[in-house]
Amino acid sequence: MNAALALGDDALVLSHRLGEWAGHAPVLEEEVALANIALDLLGQARVLLSLAGDEDELAYLREERAFRNLQLVEQPNGDFAHTIVRQLYFSVYQHLLYERLAAGDGAFAPLAAKAVKEVAYHRDHAEQWVLRLGDGTEESHGRTQAGLDALWRFTGEMFQPVEGLDGPGSGVDREELRTTWLTAVTETVERATLNLPTGPQSGGWAAGAGRQGLHTEPFGRMIAEMQHLHRSHPGASW
Amino acid sequence: MAAVTADQTTQKTLGTVDTGRTADAEADRVAAFDATVAADERIEPRDWMPDAYRATLIRQMAQHAHSEIIGMQPEANWITRAPSLRRKAILMAKVQDEAGHGMYLYSAAETLGTSRDELLDKLHAGRQRYSSIFNYPTLTWADVGAIGWLVDGAAITNQVPLCRCSYGPYARAMVRICKEESFHQRQGYELLLALSRGTAAQHAMAQDAVNRWWWPSLMMFGPPDDASSHSEQSMAWKIKRHSNDELRRRFVDICVPQAEALGLELPDPDIRWNEELGRHEFGAIDWSEFQEVLKGNGPCNEQRITQRRRAHEEGAWVREAAAAYAAKHALKPSPSAPPAAAPASSPASASASDQSSARTAASARHVEETA
């Protein structure tokens, strides 16, 4: 239950953020790509939340403190580079995690086996854009470096164990995951002529930890918008 | 499907230069063009065509492409507020499809010797239009359903005959677009049906949306036949197959029974069945409103074009980065480097459109399956 919510909320919240791009992307191909990724994530969220209960009740009727997503995925879109860096940090993590879950024999193995193909595409999309933006113009380089720096502090949370997900047979070892993630992200960032930040990946600077239902300020506003219509018509079906 | 093969076209074109008999050659070209159109065959990009035919097609296809792109805005307005995850997925897939349709149509227009960048610049400068319907606001969730049912319904009524348009690339784009549009239209209808059969508040929301979208949807067919400047020539060229009024009547005949099935009323007290004519009569359209919207004075004209310009301007650095990257890496290809042609910098090629279409269709199926 806890693990399904953690994974499901990550996908739900990031999908919502990507949905905010619709009609605002820098080029038509990215309208298609960002919406496509958002749809994949929403599909994953629906399956995962349904494992934990009713998907709409969970998405629309929980308070902020009951959401279990990472703080990383709730961060506002910022500019295109900021969004792409968020995608890089998260999709590399999600890809590695789902690969391991798919190979294990835990409850999430079948779901992860299906989702890992979508996530591989998300990861490729993010990596290709980090290369273009990092090694593009001076402006794109600067914006991408700023994104890497600003979002770095939210990456540590990805490597905290999740109850019901980690452990014997699950295939997930958070320390191994962190090392592999760091190697992969470093390689992309360096090829893009950028620098991976070196400071702490999490700590006292944070409002808390998303997995414990402690979120950052923009998140409350995001779910207020998301839930408003549903909450205005209690008991209605759509 | 092509009226003449590419080889024949080339021969025909070169032949005229060699002979120097300009007047005769010109007459031959016109005759070949007219014969192709008369035989209901397709004009293809390398075929000779009258300059005015080319210009009309560029204008119409550009306007069509722009409508897909601007048309994303009123619906995207509700993505973050969709009331269930299933509806949210359907809406996201729809808005994504619209971007894909814009891409096919820009690609099709490019076969006439223009470019997507040029067409977008004209849109942003206000020198080319998009459909008047997208200048109306989406004020409630039910508007998303009304757009699906009425606006997409009107678009399909307009576009199905375009699948037989004399210009091949346009006709083929329309075949693909109409399939996806029909899917969206059914989903919009189904959304309204759920509201109509829901709580009293939901039913009222649905009725209010239909009241606001009905007349603007009828205006989508364009001015009445006696005031339509392009119609006659477009019909002679078989770009258009039916007159504005004829398509509008067909649309009303389709909508009346659907509204009954929905349990919603159309906001026109003058609608009645005319046994003698075998069709519905309906009330007068307020053409002064239509003219105001076309002139830029509709409720959202300013907002729509400002958002489009802003997305383009704020995205300039991204497109520049992709172009700079592509230029650097075209010179020193490495096996692990991404393809030199970044999507942002390359014009929409046919194959790029095919790929996006495949993914778009896949996402629509994904939504349907999980729905």
Q: Is the pLDDT of residue A207 over 90?
A: no
Question: Taken in order A103, A105, A107, A110, is the CA torsion positive or negative?
Answer: positive
Pair B109, B123: CB distance under 8 Å: no
> Is some CB atom of chain A closer than 8 A to the CB atom of B142?
no
> Is some CB atom of chain A closer than 8 A to the CB atom of B14?
no
| CA–CA distance, B101 with B67 (Å, rounded to integer) | 10
Note the pLDDT tens digit of each residue in A32-59: 999 999 999 999 999 999 999 999 999 9
- Mean pLDDT on B322-347: 66
Contact B321 A233 (CB under 8 A): no
Q: Which of A17, A127, A132 would best serve as a mutation to test chain B binding (most B beta carbons within 10 A)?
A: A132
Q: Please, what is the angle between helix A2-19 and helix A80-103, to 10°?
A: 150
Query: Which residues of chain B neighbour A35 with C-beta distances below 8 Å?
Result: 92-93, 95-96, 99, 363
**Closest CA–CA distance from residue B195 to any residue of chain A (Å):** 7
Label residue A203 exposed, middle or buried (CB < 10 Å: 0-12, 13-18, 19+).
exposed
Residues 6+ apart with CB under 8 A from B134: B67, B70, B71, B73, B74, B300, B304
Query: Which residues of chain B neighbour A140 with C-beta distances below 8 Å?
Result: 317-318, 320-321, 324
pLDDT at B11: 42
ipTM of this complex: 0.97
* Interior/surface letters B315-336, b for 16+ CB within 10 angstroms, e for the rest: bebbbbbbbbbbeebeeeeeee
C-alpha to C-alpha distances, B199 to A205, A234, B46, B83, B209, nearest whole angstrom: 47, 10, 58, 14, 16
Report CA Rg, chain A. 17
pLDDT at B55: 96
Element (H, E) at B41: none
Contact B85 A46 (CB under 8 A): yes
Contact B311 A56 (CB under 8 A): no
Note the pLDDT tens digit of each residue in B256-289: 999 999 999 999 999 999 999 999 999 999 999 9
Note the pLDDT tens digit of each residue in A139-179: 999 999 999 999 999 999 999 989 888 877 777 899 999 99
Reported confidence tier of residue B8, pLDDT bands at 50, 70, 90: very low
B100: nearest CB among A32, A45, A46 = A32
Query: Which residues of chain B neighbour A20 with C-beta distances below 8 Å?
Result: 79-80
